[in-house]
Chain A
Amino acid sequence: MDHLERLENRSIHLLREAYSCIPNLAMLWSIGKDSTALLHLARKAFFGHVPFPLIHIDTNYKIPEMTAYRDRLALEWKLTMIVGRNDAALAQKRTFPDGAVDRITCCRLLKTQALKDVLSGQGLRLKLNHSTGGYEPDPSREPYTGVIAGIRADEEGSRSKERYFSPRDTESRWDLGDQPPEFWDQYKTDFAPGTHVRIHPLLDWREVDVWEYIDREAVPTVSLYYDQGEGRRYRSLGCHPCTSPVESTARTPKEIVAELRTGKFKDIAERSGRAQDLEDRGTLEELRRDGYM
């Protein structure tokens, strides 16, 4: 068993533990490469099926290719697709692109708040109708008690402290000083009412592992990751006002792997194109304590 196979088997085991032990489970799908690789792992774990809904938080500022790609795969793979959005903040133009708030507050409103609301069932839940291809309000208001997310430990400092099964309190907060011990493949699967758990099957993966896996398994990924002839591509995907492409001529997962291993990105952090990380040291950790993915 090689390194990638070991990572793959462990992730599948974690996905199955979550499915067997956590009622009302959902999985976050940001459309990015990590959560798309995770989606592929889920289809492997459940032999072609994804037996829980996928949640996408739409900030309205996502790059348009991302939504088109999301809906294409959701229809093709028969996914239960739920979209959450903070319509109040968008209507009141309380966003960074509108010039009303800073980047961090914008993330907090459009991502963290929208996510909290879709999880609790108190906010907007739009569900993909497979016969029309359109989205309709989801009548279910049942809170999700478990959320699978594709974060990796090597992304940045606070994520390296995460657990595979990471409890969140009733306010979605993360108490870093009092995390449950995790050992011998046993995870926290008992919860007090009102709390929920984040499950992180990709915690041990690195950026290059994800790309190698995408290459090996031919996982379809959004075209934004690849140079379309202009010598630029996205290394990390987010909202267009806060995410910049990098100079690169990589056109395939293989070329990206080469770039990460021996090429220009060998020693450069992945999220260096994410503006919100640079505003203040420790920002992402603060967002995460508050419920950010």
Chain B
Amino acid sequence: MAVEKGRESLRVVMAGHVDHGKTSLVGRLLADTLSLPKGKLEQVKAFCERNARPFEYAFLIDALKDEQSQGITIDVARIFFKTTARDYLLLDAPGHVEFLKSMVSGAAHASAALLVVDAEEGVRENTQRHGTMLSMLGIRHVAVVVNKMDRVSFREDRFLAISEEISAFLRRLGLEPASVIPISAREGSNITARSELLPWYDGPTVLEALDRFPAEPPLEKLPLRLPVQDVYRFTALGDQRRIIAGTIASGILRLGDEVVFYPSGKSSRVATIEGFPKPPVGAARAGAAVGFTLREQVYVRRGELAVKRGQTPPQTSSRLRASVFWLGKAPLEPGRDYVLKLGTARVPARVESVQRVIDTSTLRVLEGRGRVERHEAAECVLAMSAAIAFDRAEDNVLTGRFVIVDGTEIRGGGLVLESLPDAGSRQRERVILRNIKWQKGLVPREQREARFAQKAALVMVSGRDDGLRKAAARALEEELYRQGRLVYFLGIGSLLYGVGADIRGTAENHEEDFRRFSEVAHILMDSGMILVSTAAELSQADWDIVCNAVEPDRAVAVWVGQKGGREESTNLKPDLLVCAQDKAGVVAQVVALLRAKGILSA
């Protein structure tokens, strides 16, 4: 079981209907290639004898008590095994429909599959479901194994009938089976060696079919995609480096590369690619879990996607069309809140529309059903609460697939078919361009902020009581100034007749006013400043404009007084709801929040 250095390895998932003999095939493969630990076969045989059960090769794998009593594999087992050509990790997925979600887990780690069909029973419901799932999960290499040929007297006509049926089915899914192999796991026919019992078959054995699967594709040839996992500054441990950490999904990261982070569009050059305990390196490739520092500091966070300037940029939107499969007991449907996780991005999402639903066993298309039930697949439009960066799955599957969390559980997954325009598209494009063209000075923002023991932020005070809201905002500025902070009261009214002079008196200038306000705020925040502003009954749409332009985690919305009343002004989700009756109470609560958020320190 030793692995030689530099050997190829491949992950292969076992799929098929319950009782069609996937686990027996795996057991037989291990036994016939002498991949079992010494004594294991004897131990399991002795166990069967003690319990008066006929020995089956599946028992080798189904090592758990539960499974042997129920006679089905509960979960995906990982089995290592090797041929002269390469190493394999076999994922033995369960066949029972209740455990389909585990199959998905197993299949999702694999790049090739063996689909097992019973020669006697033929193609069954789960054979089709698993086939559909394999296609939806982007597994392109499938070999079909027709098992239990001993039960049909090794008849060629029976094999050909099944072979034709399953091949036609897979072709409809866009999958061409690499081979269809008649075998008997029980008799050991056509597993590692050709069988005299099947003289009419001249194709590969199972072992040969495995070795013929192409190696996993070279991801480093694709454009650079590096989802930011985190930004580390272990200052408490005496380390001043600011390291951006993440695993390279595709492409190559090199020293000196200009990297652009999406969706923000911020850019900088790679100063070092860090190593421990080894010294920094010059380049890192797809699959590497790296950490790098930047020449000019830009403020990025988990969820952004680092790409290389000059290479194809990713899509950026809060709306996308996707092919989705669903495993939850409760259906996937519009009107409910989910969370979408793509790469390292994590964002609240809703189903905007369900375009068509596919019954995974019959592949029948159900139009106009409006929801996706358990074990169904569908084309949906998803709307997220903020824009994220991604690719179409056909361009880069690693950044083109996502999972959907319902409550606390992952209940489904999907592949991105296309990016759709959203309300913020135009503004976001401008912001990305602005960030790409941004001119940096020599004093990093972080140093400016450190001087005042603060982080740049925008505090927007809103509410229905005009007097209290305005007084509280001004009192907050005064209090922060008294504390020695770099702070400024930026009234929206201060901008209307100067910065906004050219659009005064034109129709529909409200959004543009907010956009210009946000851009001015952005410049001042880049100087390390805390801004205090106020707006009457701020709507979420207006606040979204602000959050698209400045760093959203530095934008703090405060609502003063009772919420409720008119719908348009109450859809704002503020960071803080203050019920205090006087300005001092408001200021105290806002200062506490700013401390909790790390905007104020010391």
| A in complex with B | yes
What residues make up the interface of A, taking CB atoms closer than 8 Å to B? 1-4, 6, 8-10, 12-13, 16-17, 19-20, 43-49, 51, 78, 153-154, 156-158, 160-161, 163, 176-177, 179-186, 188, 190-192, 203-204, 206, 208-209, 260-262, 266-269, 281-282, 285
- Give Cα distance in the complex from A31 to B120, angstroms: 53
User: Is A158 in contact with B2, judged by CB distance below 8 angstroms?
Assistant: no
CB distance from B591 to the nearest CB of A (A): 24
User: Is B285 in contact with A1, judged by CB distance below 8 angstroms?
Assistant: yes
User: Is B101 in contact with A181, judged by CB distance below 8 angstroms?
Assistant: yes
**A–B pairs, 13, beta carbons within 8 Å:** A4-B5, A20-B229, A46-B234, A47-B234, A51-B237, A154-B80, A157-B63, A161-B75, A181-B410, A184-B402, A206-B1, A267-B37, A267-B39
With known contacts A157-B63, A157-B64, A177-B66, A12–B289 Cβ distance under 8 A: yes
- Give Cα distance in the complex from A48 to B9, angstroms: 30
CB distance from A14 to the nearest CB of B (A): 9
User: Is B247 in contact with A186, judged by CB distance below 8 angstroms?
Assistant: no
- Give Cα distance in the complex from A20 to B302, angstroms: 8
Segment touching A, from B103-111, B172-180, B417-425, B465-473 = B103-111
Q: Give the residue among A158, A177, A184, A186 with the most B Cβ atoms within 10 A.
A: A184
User: Is A183 in contact with B77, judged by CB distance below 8 angstroms?
Assistant: no
- Give Cα distance in the complex from A158 to B245, angstroms: 33
User: Is B74 in contact with A177, judged by CB distance below 8 angstroms?
Assistant: yes
B47 at interface, CB cutoff 8 A? yes
CB distance from B398 to the nearest CB of A (A): 8
Residue of A nearest to B243 (CB): A47
CB distance from B234 to the nearest CB of A (A): 5
- Give Cα distance in the complex from A150 to B34, angstroms: 28
- Give Cα distance in the complex from A185 to B104, angstroms: 13
B401 at interface, CB cutoff 8 A? yes
Measured between beta carbons, the chain B residues less than 8 angstroms from A260 are: 2
User: Is A16 in contact with B37, judged by CB distance below 8 angstroms?
Assistant: no
User: Is B241 in contact with A47, judged by CB distance below 8 angstroms?
Assistant: yes
Measured between beta carbons, the chain B residues less than 8 angstroms from A3 are: 3, 5-7, 9, 87
User: Is A180 in contact with B229, judged by CB distance below 8 angstroms?
Assistant: no
CB distance from A187 to the nearest CB of B (A): 8
User: Is B6 in contact with A2, judged by CB distance below 8 angstroms?
Assistant: yes
- Find B230's partner among A6, A10, A19, A191 (CB 8 Å cutoff): A19
User: Is B78 in contact with A51, judged by CB distance below 8 angstroms?
Assistant: no
CB distance from B319 to the nearest CB of A (A): 21
User: Is A48 in contact with B74, judged by CB distance below 8 angstroms?
Assistant: no
- From 39 to 77 in chain B, residues with beta carbon under 8 angstroms from any chain A beta carbon are 39-40, 47, 63-66, 74-77
- Find A285's partner among B6, B65, B105, B237 (CB 8 Å cutoff): B65
User: Is B229 in contact with A17, judged by CB distance below 8 angstroms?
Assistant: yes
Measured between beta carbons, the chain B residues less than 8 angstroms from A177 are: 66, 74
Residue of A nearest to B404 (CB): A186
Residue of A nearest to B137 (CB): A183
- Give Cα distance in the complex from A6 to B102, angstroms: 24
- From 394 to 423 in chain B, residues with beta carbon under 8 angstroms from any chain A beta carbon are 401-403, 405, 407-410, 413
Closest 7 CB pairs of A and B: A157-B63, A183-B108, A267-B38, A261-B2, A12-B289, A190-B408, A181-B105
- Find B5's partner among A2, A8, A157, A285 (CB 8 Å cutoff): A2
User: Is A13 in contact with B229, judged by CB distance below 8 angstroms?
Assistant: yes
Measured between beta carbons, the chain B residues less than 8 angstroms from A262 are: 2
Q: How many B residues, CB 8 Å from partner?
A: 66
With known contacts A16-B289, A43-B276, A191-B408, A48–B239 Cβ distance under 8 A: yes
- Give Cα distance in the complex from A3 to B402, angstroms: 27
Measured between beta carbons, the chain B residues less than 8 angstroms from A184 are: 108, 401-403, 413
With known contacts A177-B74, A184-B413, A158–B63 Cβ distance under 8 A: yes
B341 at interface, CB cutoff 8 A? yes
Measured between beta carbons, the chain B residues less than 8 angstroms from A19 are: 230
- Find A78's partner among B102, B237, B403 (CB 8 Å cutoff): B237
Residue of B nearest to A186 (CB): B403
User: Is B6 in contact with A206, judged by CB distance below 8 angstroms?
Assistant: no
With known contacts A47-B276, A51-B234, A188-B408, A181–B104 Cβ distance under 8 A: yes
B299 at interface, CB cutoff 8 A? no
- Give Cα distance in the complex from A177 to B75, angstroms: 8
B277 at interface, CB cutoff 8 A? yes
User: Is B247 in contact with A188, judged by CB distance below 8 angstroms?
Assistant: no
CB distance from B310 to the nearest CB of A (A): 25
B481 at interface, CB cutoff 8 A? no
User: Is A9 in contact with B287, judged by CB distance below 8 angstroms?
Assistant: yes
CB distance from A289 to the nearest CB of B (A): 10
B29 at interface, CB cutoff 8 A? no
Q: Give the residue among A4, A266, A281 with the most B Cβ atoms within 10 A.
A: A281
Residue of B nearest to A209 (CB): B3
Measured between beta carbons, the chain B residues less than 8 angstroms from A157 are: 63-64
